[in-house]
Amino acid sequence: MNQPHLTLFEKIWRQHVIASAGEFDLLWVDRHFVHEGSFHAFDKLDSSGRPLAYPELTIGIADHYVPSNLARLNDDPEVAGMIRLLEDNTARHQLTYLGLGHGDRGIVHVAAPELGLTLPGLIIVCGDSHTTTHGAFGALAMGIGATEVAHVLATQTLWQRRPKTMRIHVDGKLGAGVTAKDLALHIIHQIGTGGATGHAVEYTGPAVAALSMDARMTLCNMTIEAGARVGMVAPDDTTYAWLRDAPQAPKAEGLAQAERHWRTLYSDPEAHYDKAVTVDASAVAPRITWGTSPEQSIAVDEPFSPNDSEATRSSLDYMGLSVDRPILGLAIDQVFIGSCTNSRLSDLRDAARILDGGTVKVPTLIVAGSNRVKAQAEAEGLAEIFRTAGARWGESGCSMCVAMNGDSVAPGQRCASTSNRNFPGRQGPGARTHLMSPAMAAAAALNGTIVDVRQFAAGANA
Ligand SMILES: CC(C)[C@H](C(=O)O)[C@@H](O)C(=O)O
Ligand code: SF4
């Protein structure tokens, strides 16, 4: 009998189906991450009197509420209380917990991959929409809601409607100074924030194959901003090389055996996707958002002429902008370099290259994605470059990306940010967010205005 032609997504999905009912499948969940926001699910589980089905498959990590200055933890009882709640819930159920002070702690989407907890072919879930990040390893990873978190805790399974499949093929090569963040913003601009809704996205093509693991994570991370709950890249030699150094990934014979399986995880050449889009990497420039949706972005060297619509007008109004005010040269009030999109070592190196020897003109907060990244950044002198430039170097966590830990942007203030969401109030009530890459944010910090990092870097090095 002929084997069907399957996509990467379909292969992994099929390997995890336990039962089916109509459009829904019951899936086995290999790994489950919980953060402070998961307390509703623990409450639900506890009130049902059930134990956790497989406590060894759930890992708790504190990230959203971790203050950037740990010494000030108790300044805000709500922040401290949320972390304590996670600590109590994970302790009561005897789960592995990466809490404050743990060297492996970090934003779940940064810490888990670097520890080797994220592996190709696994189904990974977390009550967090940016779980798409883990798809960079060829895992099928998705964000789930609180009721689903409780279901996974109780059963280690999950009912899901089978999504459609979508391929985003990126041809060509990214230019100098152009990053995965710019590519992600370019794609979201091209297909819209609803462009991938209901689909599991697979990124393919030479420009994707050329990306580092850090860059693939940035790209998959932003997939949710185009509406898809899954974004993945087939594992390849770049993935395997990365996993060889990950402390909790399989080792020795276990690794060889795992790798044999991982090498079967690719989309068959004749596999069918329900939707396909092609993107030209050479047309991507450094991008910045000007509005209150991640699709409202422009290339930094493009004239600002958004279409005249109600959505444009309300975004411009909130952002304190007008069509005749160019984005290039726009004064900013502060800078945030961090978040699960852009706080890995390579992101910090990008920022440090720009900041080295300079002085920031506006308050700048730089937050590593994990304590491992933080330690490495300190060891290789990046933190010193940041401090010397006048930036604040914070404790790892979500921080100003979502402003739950007390780090927020004041009303009306304009922030150049490497995070992923720019809706009204995201970084604090009335805050105005411009999303961009770490290098662009660093260049903005030195200039106090939005600049094209490519010209800026050329000038700085001259
Ligand atoms: C708080 C959490 C549930 C939320 C998410 O689901 O993504 C947050 O991480 C975000 O980025 O908005
Ligand atoms: S860094 Fe931001 S986007 Fe990522 S998980 Fe934390 S709050 Fe969500």
Encode the chain (462 residues) as per-residue pLDDT tens digits.
567 899 999 999 999 999 999 999 999 999 999 999 999 999 999 999 999 999 999 999 999 999 999 999 999 999 999 999 999 999 999 999 999 999 999 999 999 999 999 999 999 999 999 999 999 999 999 999 999 999 999 999 999 999 999 999 999 999 999 999 999 999 999 999 999 999 999 999 999 999 999 999 999 999 999 999 999 999 999 999 999 999 999 999 999 999 999 999 999 999 999 999 999 999 999 999 999 999 999 999 999 999 999 999 999 999 999 988 899 999 999 999 999 999 999 999 999 999 999 999 999 999 999 999 999 999 999 999 999 999 999 999 999 999 999 999 999 999 999 999 999 999 999 999 999 999 999 999 999 999 999 987 644 543
Does residue 296 lie in a domain region?
Answer: yes
Indicate if 320 and 264 belong to the same structural domain: no
Indicate if 291 and 269 belong to the same structural domain: no
Indicate if 318 and 211 belong to the same structural domain: no
Ligand 1 centre distance from Cα of residue 176 (Å): 32
Does ligand 1 come within 6 angstroms of the Cβ of 225? no
> What is the pTM for the complete model shown?
0.97
Alpha helices in 198-236 (DSSP H): 206-209, 213-221
Ligand 2 centre distance from Cα of residue 114 (Å): 16
Ligand 2 centre distance from Cα of residue 31 (Å): 19
Indicate if 127 and 26 belong to the same structural domain: yes
Task: Identify the domain boundary among 276, 300, 329.
Answer: 276
Q: Kindly give the number of the ligand 2 atom that is closest to the alpha carbon of 402.
A: 7
Indicate if 28 and 168 belong to the same structural domain: yes
Q: How far apart, in whole angstroms, are the C-alpha atoms of residue 313 and residue 271? A: 42
Does ligand 1 come within 6 angstroms of the Cβ of 294? no
Tokens found for residue 393: 């170097």
DSSP code of residue 229: S
Indicate if 186 and 299 belong to the same structural domain: no
Ligand 1 centre distance from Cα of residue 97 (Å): 19
Does ligand 1 come within 6 angstroms of the Cβ of 130? yes
Does ligand 1 come within 6 angstroms of the Cβ of 403? no
Which residue among 35, 79, 126, 420 is best mutated to probe the pocket of ligand 2, counting the most ligand atoms within 8 A of its Cβ?
A: 420
Indicate if 294 and 266 belong to the same structural domain: no
Indicate if 230 and 195 belong to the same structural domain: yes
Does ligand 1 come within 6 angstroms of the Cβ of 35? no
Secondary structure (3-state) at 419: coil
Q: Kindly give the number of the ligand 1 atom that is closest to the alpha carbon of 143.
A: 6
Ligand 2 centre distance from Cα of residue 264 (Å): 32
Q: How far apart, in whole angstroms, are the C-alpha atoms of residue 432 and residue 291? A: 9
Indicate if 264 and 346 belong to the same structural domain: no
Does residue 228 lie in a domain region?
Answer: yes
Q: How far apart, in whole angstroms, are the C-alpha atoms of residue 212 and residue 205? A: 14
Angstrom CA distances, 218 to 231, 317, 386, stand at 11, 29, 22
Does residue 281 lie in a domain region?
Answer: no
Query: Which residues lie with the beta carbon below 6 Å from any ligand 2 atom?
Result: 63-64, 107, 109, 128, 130, 339-340, 398, 401-402, 419-420
Does residue 313 lie in a domain region?
Answer: yes
Does residue 3 lie in a domain region?
Answer: no
Task: Identify the domain boundary among 238, 257, 276.
Answer: 276
| Number of domain units in the chain | 2
Which residue's CA is the nearest one to ligand 2's atom 6?
398
Q: How far apart, in whole angstroms, are the C-alpha atoms of residue 235 and residue 140? A: 12
Does residue 1 lie in a domain region?
Answer: no
ipTM above 0.90, yes or no: yes
Indicate if 114 and 243 belong to the same structural domain: yes
Does ligand 1 come within 6 angstroms of the Cβ of 109? no
Which residue among 130, 132, 144, 336 is best mutated to probe the pocket of ligand 2, counting the most ligand atoms within 8 A of its Cβ?
A: 130
Task: Identify the domain boundary among 276, 298, 327.
Answer: 276
Q: H/E element holding 297?
A: strand 297-299
Ligand 2 centre distance from Cα of residue 6 (Å): 32
Indicate if 58 and 158 belong to the same structural domain: yes
Does residue 2 lie in a domain region?
Answer: no
Does residue 69 lie in a domain region?
Answer: yes
Give me the CATH number covering residue 137: 3.30.499.10
Q: Which domain holds residue 381?
A: 286-461
Indicate if 87 and 193 belong to the same structural domain: yes
Closest listed ligand to the CA of 435? 2
